[in-house]
Amino acid sequence: MSIVPTQYARLLDELIARGIAFACYFLPFNAKPTLIVENNEPAELLSYGDLDGENGFVFAPFTISNEKPLLLFRSKNIYSGFVDDISMPISGVAVNGNNSAYSTTQELYDSTFRCFMDLLKSGRFAKLVLSRKLVIDRHIKSIGKVFLNANKAYPSAFTYLVNAPKSGLWLGATPELLLKGDGDSFQTVALAGTMPVSGDSTDYSWSEKDCEEQQLVADYISDRLALCGVANVEKNGPITIKAGNIVHLKTTFKFATDGNIGVGRLVDTLHPTPAVCGLPKEEARQYIIETEQHNREYYTGFAGIVSSNKETELYVNLRCMKVEAQQLSLFAGGGITAKSEGEREWKETNHKLRTLQSIIEADY
């Protein structure tokens, strides 16, 4: 039976209050939510490649560890649409964190930015993505409502709410596709470069730095697909796309694998792209982990549906927050190249943070 979303928000709040592990999501331009409820905990995978042949909802971290594994919700308790009657597991295990989070100050951001710049200017890296964390008090009572409002405000985004013991409670509304396809043909995107939306204008003049930063992501995707043995890639773009209060440059890649390359292998090949990590990839990932003062956890990982015989649809986990009992930790970052300016990059992360802040602050 279908019900009004307010009751649905209450249902999600009840799952959270009972500590039940679940994943709920809206695909882009789809007004129907899907809810997957675990009786216990989601499965934990320790490599992206292990996704080959799997089915379920995936919640993956920036980098996999025993503490922050790749979570796979394989439960058959799947509810489509605004349902009111679900079979509630008796008791849950999820916890809401310990409120120990702190914000990245502009001073700390600037000093990390300078370290990044030294290595970019010396040529050790071509690109690095620097991120920050903004911790705010959790005045809101209903996370279910924030989730539904995020979907209303950003219908073109992939919007999710995930609760599990290893990840904690996360909410996001991301514009960045990582991988979509049916096993035979797939698509991915190179999304980078950011400007604030300017009125009704569709005519944006992109800086050399933004174009270069996006081109690095596009070239990386072409190279990685070639490395995987993908021969014919149809490339379209870059075009300007709107994501809430900001615009990005996007190039779309479509390619056929004829069933020869599994989803796990493709994800392992692509993630993390230089839209969220850097170049060269493994060195950049290691440097980011060592240098950023916060743990990214599931921010800049990915989330979505993986399927061995139907449609896989995975999104990069951006414009997201971790929800704790008294605090919300919001994450945002930006691509840095040798041409970057610290003040502009900081402002860019402010624009990105507004995406979720405006929903949190909205008067429901």
Ligand X SMILES: C=C(O[C@H]1C=CC=C(C(=O)O)[C@@H]1O)C(=O)O
Closer Cβ to ligand X, 172 or 183, answer by number? 172
Task: Give which of 272, 266, 253 is closest to 318, Cα–Cα.
Answer: 272
Q: Is 352 in the site for ligand X (CB under 6 A)?
A: yes
At a CB cut-off of 8 Å and minimum separation 6, what does 89 contact?
A: 18, 20, 37, 38, 39, 40
Q: Is 144 in the site for ligand X (CB under 6 A)?
A: no
Q: In whole angstroms, how close is the CB of 243 to ligand X at the nearest point? A: 8
Q: Is 334 in the site for ligand X (CB under 6 A)?
A: yes
Q: Is 192 in the site for ligand X (CB under 6 A)?
A: yes
Running DSSP on this structure, what letter comes out for residue 103? P
Task: Give which of 285, 264, 357 is closest to 55, Cα–Cα.
Answer: 264
Q: Is 238 in the site for ligand X (CB under 6 A)?
A: no
Closer Cβ to ligand X, 70 or 275, answer by number? 275
Please answer whether residues 52 and 174 qualify as being in contact, where contact means their C-beta atoms are separated by less than 8 angstroms.
no
Q: In whole angstroms, how close is the CB of 294 to ligand X at the nearest point? A: 13
Place of tokens 């071509």: 126
Size of the site for ligand X (CB under 6 A): 16
One residue of 26, 135, 143, 176 binding ligand X per CB under 6 A:
176
Closer Cβ to ligand X, 38 or 176, answer by number? 176
Q: How far is CA 274 from CA 9, 266, 284, 333, 356, in A?
A: 36, 16, 9, 12, 23
One residue of 248, 296, 322, 354 binding ligand X per CB under 6 A:
248
Q: Is 61 in the site for ligand X (CB under 6 A)?
A: no
Region near ligand X per CB under 6 A, out of 76-84, 114-122, 263-271, 326-334? 326-334
Q: Is 276 in the site for ligand X (CB under 6 A)?
A: yes
271: helix, coil or strand? coil
Q: Is 225 in the site for ligand X (CB under 6 A)?
A: no
Region near ligand X per CB under 6 A, out of 33-41, 94-102, 154-162, 191-199? 191-199
DSSP, residue by residue, 303-353: EEEE-SSS-EEEEE--SEEEE-SSEEEEEEEEEE-TT--HHHHHHHHHHHH
- CB neighbourhood size of 123 (10 A): 8
Angle, helix 5-17 to helix 143-153, in steps of 10 degrees: 130
**Pairing state between β 22-26 and 34-37:** antiparallel
Region near ligand X per CB under 6 A, out of 54-62, 119-127, 185-193, 226-234? 185-193
Q: What is the dihedral of CA 216, 217, 222, 226, to 10 degrees?
A: 100
Q: Is 166 in the site for ligand X (CB under 6 A)?
A: no
One residue of 11, 189, 216, 275 binding ligand X per CB under 6 A:
275
Q: Is 333 in the site for ligand X (CB under 6 A)?
A: yes
Name which of residues 74 to 113 contact ligand X (CB under 6 A): none
Structure tokens at 299: 């921010």
Q: Is 129 in the site for ligand X (CB under 6 A)?
A: yes
Closer Cβ to ligand X, 48 or 62, answer by number? 62
Chain residues that interact with ligand X, rule: CB under 6 A: 129, 176, 191-194, 248, 275-276, 318-319, 332-335, 352
